[in-house]
Amino acid sequence: MIPDDAVERLMESALLIGAECEKANIQQWEIYANQGYGHSMEIEAGRISMASGGGEGGFGIRVVENGRYGYAHLVDTSSSKRAIEQALSIANRSPSIEGFELPGNQSASNVGGMKDKAILDMTPEDLLEQGDQVLTRVSELDSRAVAVGGGIGVGAGAGAIVTSNGIEYGGVYTSHGIGIHVSIDEDEQLTSSYEGESSRKLLSDVTSSVDKAVHWSQITREKIPGGETEDCPVLMTSDGFSPLFSVVVPSAVKGERLARGESFWSGKMNQMVIADHLSLTDDGLMEGGMSSGSRDDEGVPCRTQKIVESGRLTGELWSTRDAAKSVAEGKVDSAESTGSASRGGHTSPPLCGCNDLILSSSAKSHDRDRLIEEMDNGYIVHSVMGAHTANPTSGDFSVTTSTILRVEGGTVIGAISQAGLSGNMAKALNGRVVLGDSSKRKGSYSTGSMHVPDVLLMDGLRINPA
């Protein structure tokens, strides 16, 4: 899937572009390079609709002159001089940030599990076979169920970074993922569920997401009338909780937002901000982590950092530029990169973001059945729509869900067609919270990966049944 010498090729080209920067007498420069390859297949209306493969990549150039920086990107080295001129032109028109310099080279830990040879050996035929397994599994579980959308993909990428300050680093990473949308349309009633999973390693069972999707499509068919709007406990499965969590919490722990008063935790460093048994850890060194690695996307060594310890805010995330800018503006006395820079690819300069963010508890955790008993009366929410509209400054959110179950006396009594869910994430996490006993990796609306279990929020949420 990927050439054996992919990293070497990228590194060689990056060094050539760096040499052009030296000829142009640029004070500081950074060349970021990546190349991705992959195979994918799409599912639509119960059948495989398309299979495709290919690759893309390029180079990003960041230059820094007297605290001013500019960025440009290119596809091949033949246009490097022009791209360098563009980056310099942008830098000359940009405001100077006192003290802003590109990071220097530091020793970094080796992080394993970034690539799996089994993925590298995957062929399009292997992927089509997995697609057949998925479609077969759907019909086996429920003859009424149809895989109306989704797909499976495998990918491999090579990345490299070279800087004027001595950083030369590169590596290969792989991924395997599935997303499946299952619907049951019968007796003028449509229920559906979307499930997904991804990993650096070859997924051991691509049909496990199918099982969940069919299950939730089935159990939400037993409709009961909606009740009154009420403030009540809500058990959010990891699938329902992670979208809201990923919009609100990673933004709240960025150092620049905290310094600017744009986080609901601004001014609360070393104070209690969530329940005293909860902790937040940003693990940039997680083996096989989808957002971890030896270095971040500007070459700074990654680290494992406690953001919240036993309910107390103790840490924050910084990229190099954000740290220098906040110090220069007098927002903070001191700040430095925490190895938290990330990019969307070679076309984007590095921005601050989390790596693999983990929500954990020192209190006893429970399986889902026990959480339902603990809730007594309330609702279970498995998915939400509109999570991207949540306010990362205040923590307020108002979303809708059509995958919601009513619980009375610790027993699920049925599903309601649709409901609104509103509340404030900061207040909810600072109330009575009980975590499930298994954490799952989920994607993010922002940056990084979220590792969250089922979460029972006893306070601060309101359900408005349709």
Average pLDDT (69-92) is: 96
Average pLDDT (302-315) is: 98
Cα separation, 218 vs 54, in Å, equals 37
Question: Which runs of E-coded beta strand occur in 200-353?
Answer: 230-231, 234-236, 278-283, 304-309, 312-313, 341-342, 351-352
Q: How confident is the model at residue 439 (pLDDT cuts 50, 70, 90)?
A: confident
pLDDT of residue 162: 98
| 400 pLDDT more than 80 | yes
Q: How many CA atoms lie within 13 A of 327 on its CB side?
A: 18
CA distances from 58 to 87, 114, 281, 290, 350 (A): 15, 21, 33, 21, 15
Q: pLDDT tens-digit profile of 321-338?
A: 999 999 999 999 999 999
Under DSSP, the state recorded for 460 is S
In the beta sheet, which residues pair with residue 70?
A: 63
Amino acid residing at 232: C
Average pLDDT (58-77) is: 96
pLDDT of residue 55: 83
- Other CB atoms within 10 A of residue 136 CB: 12
| 446 pLDDT more than 80 | no
pLDDT of residue 313: 98
pLDDT of residue 50: 80
pLDDT of residue 277: 98
| 444 pLDDT more than 80 | no
Cα separation, 137 vs 139, in Å, equals 5
Cα separation, 284 vs 388, in Å, equals 24
Q: pLDDT tens-digit profile of 364-397?
A: 999 999 999 999 999 999 999 999 999 999 999 9
Average pLDDT (304-328) is: 97
The mean predicted confidence, pLDDT, of the chain is: 95
399 and 386 Cβ atoms separated by less than 8 Å:
yes
Q: Which domains does the chain have, with CATH numbers?
A: 6-219 (3.30.2290.10), 230-465 (no CATH)
| 41 pLDDT more than 80 | yes
pLDDT of residue 443: 79
| 46 pLDDT more than 80 | yes
Q: pLDDT tens-digit profile of 215-270?
A: 999 999 999 998 899 999 999 999 999 999 999 999 999 999 999 999 999 999 99
| 422 pLDDT more than 90 | yes
Average pLDDT (437-442) is: 84
Q: What does pTM read for this prediction?
A: 0.94
Under DSSP, the state recorded for 140 is H
